[in-house]
Amino acid sequence: MPQSIYTIPITEAYEQTDICPICVLKNRHEAEVIDYLIGPAVMDSDVRTMTNRHGFCRKHLDMLHATGKRLPVALLLQTHLETMTAPREPDCYVCQQIQNRVTQVISNTIAHYKKDKSFRGICLSHSNYCLPHAKNLLTIGQEKLGKLYPEFADGLMTTVNGKNQKLLADLQTFTASFDYRNQGKPLPEDARASSRAVTDHLTGYAE
């Protein structure tokens, strides 16, 4: 099936086998939103109205500061403080934008799975879905795939469970390496990195 502007980024993300493909697209969009906020959005009244209303979480404030663009960041914070009412509910403009984008990406992925038979094997065999995005795929897949859903759910769960077992084995190898009986034995790299790998699997892959 011919690629479209919606499916090309998805196909490219699935080519990165060492990371959750949905995380690839989420992280890419997160970086784009940060760049936009310190660029054109500084003079966009509609965006500034939204950032004034919602503000930013600590993670995304840190990302804004990390750009080194001190004046745009200061302007975003200044008008946010000027218009903020206290107490306000914890919120974040960037988090909202990312969540909306992830929902759309997953809907597009499910639509791609439904229409393109050649993509189905690629989708189900990817071995590095994080658990949050696997759950999102199952939820939206149940809504949109109809008769294709049972095969999709079985295939995805088989892949995710396989990842769970691999990570558990790596963690067990790592913790066992501290036993005096295993001193001096070489430790595989996957075992060395197992705690971080489990964190990524449970919560999503951060850049």
pLDDT digits (tens, 9 = 90+) for 142-193: 999 999 999 999 999 999 999 999 999 999 999 999 999 998 899 999 999 9
Q: Each residue of 53-111: pLDDT tens digit?
A: 999 999 999 999 999 999 999 999 999 999 887 677 668 999 999 999 999 999 999 99
pLDDT value at residue 4: 73
The answer to whether position 63 is within a domain reads yes
Residue 144 forms part of a structural domain: yes
Residue 20 has pLDDT above 70, yes or no: yes
In a domain, 67, yes or no: yes
In a domain, 21, yes or no: yes
Domain limits at 51?
7-159
Residue 165 lies in a domain: no
Instruction: Please state the domain count of the chain.
Output: 1
State the pLDDT at residue 3.
Answer: 63
pTM recorded for the entire structure: 0.88
Tokens matching residue 179? 């036993």
Residue 51 maps to a domain: yes
Predicted confidence at residue 119, as pLDDT, reads 95
Per-residue pLDDT at 1 exceeds 60: no
For residue 2, pLDDT beyond 80:
no
For residue 203, is it within any domain?
no
Does residue 142 fall inside a structural domain?
A: yes
